[in-house]
């Protein structure tokens, strides 16, 4: 069983801002992925859901879906990338499988998966 260690999660506002500002973004209907390569932030991931999505319960559910999608496939992701996964409004009313499929398709588009995983 794969775990998502706390040391891999972005926590500080400066780290989030750096990924937002300098990272490349890839989006689909359910998820936006920011991909950033930098020293010190390798193999880290952040999860975000803005207030436009709804109340705290709704935002936390979207972040849980994003976290689980990442956790299930973290062994496939190249370690040099820092990722930021942002939930979109359409992700509020869908099941886990839909968000996971959206994450995988964006990951392939962004090229974050290791070569042997393809």
pLDDT in tens, 16-48: 999 999 999 999 999 999 999 988 889 999 999
- b (16+ CB within 10 A) / e for 74-83: beebbeebbb
Domain range annotation of the chain: 9-108
Gap between the Cα atoms of 88 and 86, Å rounded: 7
CATH architecture group of domain 9-108? 2-Layer Sandwich (3.30)
The Cα 16–Cα 6 span in angstroms is 16
- Distance from C-alpha of 114 to C-alpha of 75, rounded to nearest angstrom: 9
Are 77 and 5 in contact, with CB atoms under 8 Å apart? no
pLDDT in tens, 73-96: 999 999 999 999 999 999 999 999
Tell me the pTM: 0.93
């Amino acid at each position: 069983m794969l775990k998502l260690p706390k040391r891999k999660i972005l926590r500080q506002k400066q780290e989030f801002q750096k990924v937002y500002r300098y990272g490349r973004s890839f989006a689909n209907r359910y998820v936006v992925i920011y991909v950033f390569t930098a020293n010190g932030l390798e193999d880290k991931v952040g999860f975000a859901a803005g207030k436009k999505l709804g109340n705290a319960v709704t935002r936390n559910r979207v972040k849980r879906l994003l976290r689980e999608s990442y956790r299930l496939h973290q062994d496939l992701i190249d370690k040099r990338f820092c990722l930021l996964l942002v939930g979109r409004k359409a992700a509020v009313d869908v099941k886990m499988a839909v968000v996971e499929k959206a994450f995988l398709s964006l990951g392939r588009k962004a090229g974050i998966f290791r070569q042997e995983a393809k």
